[in-house]
Amino acid sequence: MKKCAKFGGSSVANAEQIKKVCKIVLSDENIRAVTVSAPGKRFDGDIKVTDLLIDLYEKFRNKDSKYKESLELVIKRYQEIVNDLKLDEEILQDYRDILNSYLENIEDSFYLQNAIKACGEDFNARLIAKYIKSLGVNCSYLSPKDAGILVEHTLSEPVILEKTYENLNKFKDRDELFIIPGFFAYTPQGKIITFQRGGSDITGSIIARGLECDIYENYTDMSYIYTTHPKLIENPKEITNITYKEMRELSYNGFEIFQEDAVAPLLSHNIKIHVKNTNDPNNGGTIIETKREDVDQNPIIGISNVGDFIAFNITEYLMNKKIGYINKLLDIFEYQHIPVEHIPTGIDSLAILVRKKYISSEFQMQNIINTIKANFSFDEFEIIDDISAIAIVGEGLSQRVGNALYKISKVLYEEDIKLESIIQGANKNSVFVFINKKYEKIAIEKLYKEFFQ
């Protein structure tokens, strides 16, 4: 059995945590490659290394001379780890040289920002590989460039090129342990491109597929994925098994334990994901795989607060007769680079539902409104900007949606909560409930009780 392991920011935040990581890795000969994040928070109020690097980039871009102090803050964070692991400090000068080289030689601000942000994972991987090698283990740092992890840069997210898996496959039979930085890849032109936050999960999935692993172990600071976020419900029910589809739905719709796009590289290769706790690796854990056997017993797997939405409600008589109406409306949002997630419709009405975070300014909002008014002869036009969405997810919904809708309606009726909209996902394993934001907390509490207690 071959494994790939990924360790998140809290798992590699300091030397003590890194020693735990090394103990886990070296006690399992099946682990052939390790993907690591940048050092995360060591305590409440601490600053992640990635955020320190973003601050460095911002100061440099704004020609703030204090960028040098920001650079030294980054180095100081690694110096603490290097000293605690009793490694040679010469590696810190390498880090300074790399950062200064990027700042001096990368003129394009986009690529400079990506290169600087990527240093968090890159420096940590170099450091951890050096430490493991000092223990007498045949271990190598493998950069995404040397590994051949290639992406195409797009306006939204980097697209993984198939050539990546061919490149990685060359390493699958090597008799050594590879430490690989997560979060970033390279374009075919040699430019560094970072994934979105949580992108080390994606790198781990890419490595697992490229090396033809059987299991991808993803270590965090939690022992399980839970039926809802522990910050929303005290002691929520643990999930021991969940499907790829369910995990992707929950991750995209608010669950933060696993990056939603990380599932994609594994879907067609049936590689199991095992979510485990770095601080308690031998207990618990959630398995993510193609199917689960307990769908009849547990048709609903989780409830999540999706986030804040804005609804653009349009009513126009004979709308249903006008060919291309929705397409014309969607063009307005595409032009603004705003993804549209839901479009509930009636005969003469529809609503465009977008995440509030994608509308970045009042100017952009007004631009959308003015463009809609200029291009449509509507009878009514209403904007509701205080909507929250709740996702109820489970493979069993496809057969029991009627029962789920009854429970949802019962909770909303009993709590006197107005329903703005309700939508079943096209694959029938999710239902989205849209309500006024002020009722979000009580709605999640009552829905959780109805479905899980």
Residues in the annotated binding site for ATP = 220-221, 226
Strands of 241-243's sheet in order across? 139-141, 177-181, 31-36, 3-7, 215-220, 272-277, 286-289, 241-243
- Residue 272, H or E segment: strand 272-277
d(CA 175, CA 178): 10
DSSP structure class, residue 237: P
Give dist(CA 45, CA 235) in Å, integer: 24
Neighbour-count burial of 173, counting CB atoms closer than 10 A to its CB (0-12 exposed, 13-18 middle, 19+ buried): exposed
Beta bridge partners of 151: 160
Distance of CA 64 to the CA centre of its chain: 31
Q: Which residue has the tokens 């993804």?
A: 339
- What is the distance between the alpha carbons of residues 386 and 363, in angstroms, rounded to a whole number? 18
Q: Is 156 exposed, middle or buried (0-12, 13-18, 19+ CB in 10 A)?
A: exposed
HSE toward the beta carbon, residue 385, CA cutoff 13 A: 8
Distance of CA 405 to the CA centre of its chain: 29
Rounded to whole angstroms, the Cα distance separating 319 from 308 reads 28
Q: How far apart are CA 6 and CA 206, in angstroms?
A: 11
Q: Token pair of 69, please?
A: 């102090």
| Residue 208: Cβ within 10 Å count | 31
Residue 160, both tokens: 């993984």
Distance CA 277, CA 109 (A): 37
Q: Which of 337, 270, 340, 286 is nearest to 312 (CA)?
A: 340
| Binding residue numbers | 220-221, 226
Rounded Cα–Cα distance for residues 49 and 13 (Å):
9
Which one-letter amino acid corresponds to residue 42? R
